Structures are given as C-alpha cells and as structure tokens.
Amino acid sequence: MSTGTSGLQATVDLALKEGIRAGCSDVSIIGSRSLTSQVRFSNNSITLVNSVRNITIDFYLAKNRRRILGSSSNPTERGVRSFVQRLVSACESLPESKDYAPLPSGPFHYQKRGNYDPKVADAPLVDYVNEAIESALRSGALRVSGSLNTESTQSIISTSAGANADDKVSMMLLNVRAFADDNASGHGLSCTSFISDFRAGEAGRRAGEYAKMSLHPVQLEQGKYDVIFLSTVVANILPVAGAASAFAIQTGMSYLADKLGQRVGVESLGVMDQAVPERGLGGRSFDDEGTPTQDNDVISRGTFSTILHNTTTAKKFSAKSTGNAGIIVPRPNTVVFEKGGVTFDEMIKDTRNGVLITNNWYTRYQNQRTGEYSTVPRDAAFKIKDGAIAEPLFGLRVSDSIPRQLSSIEAISTEREWIKWWEVDTPTFAPAMKISGVPITRAVGS
C-alpha cells in the first residue's frame, strides 16, 4: 500500500470498510501521516538531530452498543485487516455501554482554513538553532540549551456516518533556555505554524536578556504578593479549557463542576476554544467523531459558559456536541485567552510591591476538584518595586487555588503569545496576567 496521500486515504477507506463488514454500527477512522524533525542543543552546541516519519491509524468501533478504541502503526493491508479483526473480537466481549450514542451523521461542512505551511518540513533547523544560540550569547548568556521541533501532519477522517474530511497542520516550536551562570537563567519561545512568523533570534535574545538580568538572585520572604505571570506561565497554570471538558467534570476532577452559567472569574476574563485560529498555532477542522470543530466560548465575561462535549457526553448532559471529541475525553482544540486592556510595561509600572514570574514547571494538584495546586517558578523571576523590575529571585514556589486566582486577576495584557512546549501541550494564545494576593512559599534548609 502506498504511503502518499492517496495511499493514506486508501488505508482509511479499507479500515472503514473492514469495520462495517464486521458488523459494526459505528466506525470512525483517522489516518495520520507525520514528519517530525528536531535539533536539540545544550552548552551552545547541537546534541542531536532527529527525524521521525510515522503513519498511524486510529479506530473507534461500536457493535451492539459495545465500544472500543484502537491505534495501530501498521498501515499495510494485512495489518489493517488483522487489527480490525482483533478490535472487533475484543469489542464483542465487552459489556454494553449505557452511554452509547451513535456517531453524528452529516452532511458536514468543514472549514478549509488550516494552519499549514508546506515550507516548514524543509526548514533549515541547524541554521535557526545557531541563530538562537548566537542571539542568546550576544544578549548576555554564557551557555544555551533547547530544542527546535518541526511537525507536519496530514490527517484524514472517514466515518460510517458519512463524515469525510482531511486536514493539514504544521508547527515550528523553539524552546531556548539561556544561562548566565548556574543560578541565572532565562527562557524564550517561538511557536508558530508558518515559517515567516518564526523568530529564532528573538527567542534567543529574550532568553539571554532574562538570564543576564537574573544574576545574583536573592530569596523572597514567604507571603502573599501581587504576581505578574508571563504568558508561558498563564498557559500552564490556568488550564481552564481542560477543566471545561465534560470528562473532567464527570470524573469529579474539575473545579468548574457545577459552575456552568456562574461567574468563575473577573469580568475581563474570556477564554475560548478555537477550532483553527486564523494564522495561529495548530487547531483542527474535525474532531475524532467527524464533527466539524467550532469556536466555543469557555469563559465569557468571567462566566463559565460552555462545557466541551463529544456526542456521548453531550447525550449524558442533554447537550450538543461542541466538536471536541476525543472519544472518551473531550478536549480543547486550541485555547485562546481574550486580550486585556493594558500593556505589559503598564502592568509593571502599576505594581508597587510585587513579583514577576517568567516561566514555571511541575504544576501539581493537592485537590483537583477544588483547584488547590502548587507550581515551581523556573528561570527568571524578579521583585517588582515601585513600578520597576528589581532584584532577581530564586527558590520560590506558588501555592494557590485556581478558582481564587481567576477571581483575583487585576490586569490582563494586550500582548498575547502562542505557547506550546514541555509544560503546555494544547496550543494556547495567552496574555500576561497580574493576580493579587498570590501565596509564595519557599523550602527550608541549608
């Protein structure tokens, strides 16, 4: 079986036909062909060049209200037939699903706009990496680490209910971490779907400048502070679109449970799940059930306005699918925060005694249902004194609750950035935010 576009379509068609032939009432097949390339670097030098070509076939089958999911990396005719047989056989042994709902039937109209640039697959990664490293070094770093990943993926869906669509998406994701010494580092990202929007030097410069500013950090006293979180942090610690998934609500693990239609944040807070943001990062035109994706207001003027659904959860909640399947877990396609009314510089100027946190990692929940969590700032963090960035900080931790934070947002920046990296999986267009009264703790010891 060929592996080009026609070959991928033929593989999807075969899988669909085999599923129907085996007596399945519902079959959804998604074939994906991807090329990912990567250059990793550390200590100012390339450590790995990496290139992976994959074809995967994702299956959803239902037979007599019994449901099963599958994923196979074997696109050969024999492989597809054998995998469908195995799935059907396993499916027949499962109990009936009380939550079963038939796949949505068409006709469907899919938006044609895609965040895809064919030039991404041939991007000169080594040159870009060298540009990022040199830019960071020029800006004050002594050593630079990171990775540049490009992804080009074509996906085709066919369902037994008549959905047929294809989609292409490309991404360039640069993550730069610069060190001015072991305790002074800065972070920079450039995340885009289009090569012409890519800014390797800018990401390196930002990382390098923050690293230099972070030299000779001091410890912060524990207490509550007004904190300005850069967009990289906002995208990680306020995953409200994920909490809006019907799955998170059903499983009792969402702080938005029981809050539909209620005020959950300040009035200036708006968060949208966008299908394919125009000239944004990623997105998709169809979900895993073949439903066309759409733009969903998750939080509108501070009010929780939409639960993200697939057809199964929609049936359970007496709602309609929002085009966010996952067969088991509805998920946002992208997350877009509304822009605010002040610039980042104004936000700093308006802060008398606060903290600036530029990056973070390791966010963990004590209680997912109530949203109590902590996270560890990493890279540059600073005191803000009398409207200006002051001394750098180290060894701090944010220990707070998401509902409290959503209601304590004091300012949202006009500037927004696309974020996707190690700590943020769903492409997120996030602003910087100033949140009041954030508890900051630190470790005890020598």
Partner 1 sequence: MSQDLVHIAVERALQRGCEYAEARWQRTSDQLCYVRNGEAEPSVISDAEGIGVRVICEGALGFGATNLLDVASVTELVENVAKSARGASSSIKEERKVRFSSEEPGVAKWGVEEKKKAEDVSLESIIAFLKEIDATLRSPIADVSFPNRNLAVWKGIDEKYYENSDGSRVESRVPRFQYYGTMLAMYEGKPTSISIPPGYSGLGGTGGWEVIENLDLVEYVPRGALEITAGIKASASPPSGVTLDVILGPNVAGLTSHESCGHPGEADRILGREGAQAGESFLKPDKLGMQIGSEEAFVSDDPTIPGSMGFYLYDDEGVRARRRKLITAGRFTEFLQNRATAYYFNIKSNGSSRAVQYDREPIIRMGNTLIEPGDWTFDEMIRDVNRGVYIKSFMEWNIDDKRLNQRYVGLEAFLIEAGKLGPAVKNPVFEITTPKYWGSIDARAKDLEYTCGTCGKGDPMQGAPVFFGAPHIRLRNVRVGSR
Task: State which of positions 365-424 bind partner 1 (CB under 8 A).
Answer: 365-370, 372-376, 378, 395, 397, 399, 422
Instruction: Tell me: does residue 6 bind partner 1 (CB under 8 A).
Output: no
Closer Cβ to partner 1, 227 or 412, answer by number: 227
Question: Among residues 317 and 361, whose Cβ is nearest to partner 1?
Answer: 361
Complex with partner 1: residue 47 or 262, whichever CB lies closer:
47
Report the b/e string of 125-145 with b at 16+ CB within 10 A. Answer: beebbbbbbbbbbebbbbbbb
Alpha helices (runs of H) in 48-157, residue ranges in sequence order: 77-92, 125-138
Can you tell me the distance from the alpha carbon of 156 to that of 329, in angstroms, rounded to the nearest whole number? Answer: 20
Binding to partner 1 by residue 97, rule CB under 8 A? yes
Q: Measured from the CB of residue 421, what is the shortest distance to partner 1 in angstroms?
A: 8
* 221 is an interface residue for partner 1 by CB under 8 A: no
Q: Which long-range contacts (CB under 8 A, 24 or more apart) does 71-77 make?
A: 75/1, 75/3, 75/7, 75/8, 75/11, 75/31, 76/1, 77/1, 77/14
Per CB under 8 A, 445 contacts partner 1: yes
Tell me which of 98, 107, 109, 196 binds partner 1, using CB under 8 A: 98
Q: 12, 22, 67, 433: which one contacts partner 1 (CB under 8 A)?
A: 67
**Range 312-341, binding partner 1 (CB under 8 A):** 327-328
- The one segment of 70-78, 109-117, 268-276, 293-301 that binds partner 1 by CB under 8 A: 70-78
Residue numbers 284-313 binding partner 1 by CB under 8 A: none
- Cα gap 297→303, rounded to integer Å: 10
Q: How far apart are CB 6 and partner 1 at their closest, in Å? A: 16
Q: What would the x/- binding string for partner 1 be over residues 166 to 195, using CB under 8 A?
A: ---------xxx-x--x-------------
CA dist list (Å): 140 to 31, 132, 190, 213, 420: 46, 13, 19, 9, 25
2 binds partner 1 (CB under 8 A): no
- Omega of the bond prior to 118 within 30 degrees of 0, cis? no
* 188 to 36, 179, 274, 288, 410: CA distances (angstroms): 21, 12, 25, 33, 25
Told to check if 251 binds partner 1 by CB under 8 A, we report: yes
Residue range at the interface with partner 1 (CB under 8 A); choices 164-172, 341-349, 355-363, 427-435? 355-363
Determine the Cα–Cα distance for residues 270 and 31; give it in Å rounded to an integer: 34
Q: Does 39 bind partner 1 (CB under 8 A)?
A: yes
Of the candidate residues 20, 253, 260, 319, the single one contacting partner 1 (CB under 8 A): 253
In 10 A of CB 73, how many CB atoms? 10
Backbone φ/ψ region at 305: left (φ over 0), alpha (ψ -120 to 50), beta = alpha
Residues in the interface with partner 1 (CB under 8 A) total: 84
Cβ(229)–Cβ(298) under 8 Å? no
Measured from the CB atom, the residue of 3 and 105 that comes closer to partner 1 is 3
- Judged by CB under 8 A, does residue 218 bind partner 1? no
Q: Is 42 in the site for partner 1 (CB under 8 A)?
A: yes
Residue 94 binds partner 1, judged by CB under 8 A: yes
Please report how the helices 77-92 and 5-21 are oriented relative to each other, as an axis angle in degrees rounded to 10.
Answer: 30
Token code pair at residue 374: 């902590």
Per DSSP, 22 falls in state T
